[in-house]
Amino acid sequence: MATPFSRLVIASGNHGKIREIAHVLSPLGIEVLPQSQWQVPECPEPYGTFIENALAKARHASQHTGLPALADDSGLCVPALNGAPGVISARYAGPTPANSLLTQDERNNDKLLSDMARISDRRAYFYSVLVLLRHPQDPQPLIADGLWQGEILREFRGSDGFGYDPLFLDQQSGKTVAELPLEIKSQRSHRGQALARLLQQLDRTAN
């Protein structure tokens, strides 16, 4: 497929996300560069919607590097919790104390289990929105999203992936996302779907 870029900055410090995006884009000849290579400072994410946060992150990374930038803003939404953790998925349990023995992801998962302890409706979905800015002032960013339906288990299973993967059951395979190979997660996930849609748009704008 034709792509107008050979290099893209990923507006994220999340290694799990960067790995998944690189898994899809690298075989297409797009070099995926983490923004840490430019010491890009963390971008504030003050907004109540995924799209606003994604746009802010992409613009921030493109401004600091001068390169095309791709941002993913994503999260887990649980209807029985009125959509929580939602846009604050990454920091659901609050900031991790310096002396904590648990990672931020582990603390978030523990909070989710405890918040859902008495909830029988276990339905949940992952949502991702991607924003690609070709340059810092790009007035027409490419935008694509994806959604993955599943359910929240009552115990952890699997060790791959990141975030809420060990609690999120993919009903089609009967496995948690942390038990799925990256290849399969990329085909099925919210981020994988959003990337496929973004690539369709890139293909259209390149021709």
Residues lying near ligand IMP in the complex (CB under 6 A) are found at: 14, 45, 73-76, 89-90, 108, 126, 161-165, 177, 189, 191
Closest approach of ligand IMP to the CB of residue 80, in Å: 18
Our CB check for ligand IMP shows the closer of 65 and 128 to be 128
Closest approach of ligand IMP to the CB of residue 187, in Å: 13
Which of 72, 73, 105, 170 is catalytic? The answer is 73
Residue 68 Cα distances to 2, 19, 151, angstroms: 16, 18, 35
Rounded CA-CA distance 45/43 in Å is: 6
Closest approach of ligand IMP to the CB of residue 97, in Å: 18
Rounded CA-CA distance 10/22 in Å is: 9
Does the active-site annotation cover 165?
no
* Strands laid side by side in the 123-133 sheet: 31-34, 7-10, 69-77, 123-133, 142-152, 168-170, 175-176
Our CB check for ligand IMP shows the closer of 89 and 193 to be 89
Q: Which ranges of the chain would DSSP assign to H, the alpha helix?
A: 15-25, 50-65, 104-115, 182-188, 190-206
Our CB check for ligand IMP shows the closer of 3 and 19 to be 19
Closest approach of ligand IMP to the CB of residue 6, in Å: 25
Provide the b/e sequence for 145-162 (b: ≥16 CB within 10 Å). Answer: bbebebebeeeeeeeebb
Give the residue at shortest CB distance from ligand IMP.
163
Our CB check for ligand IMP shows the closer of 45 and 106 to be 45
- Known catalytic residues are 73
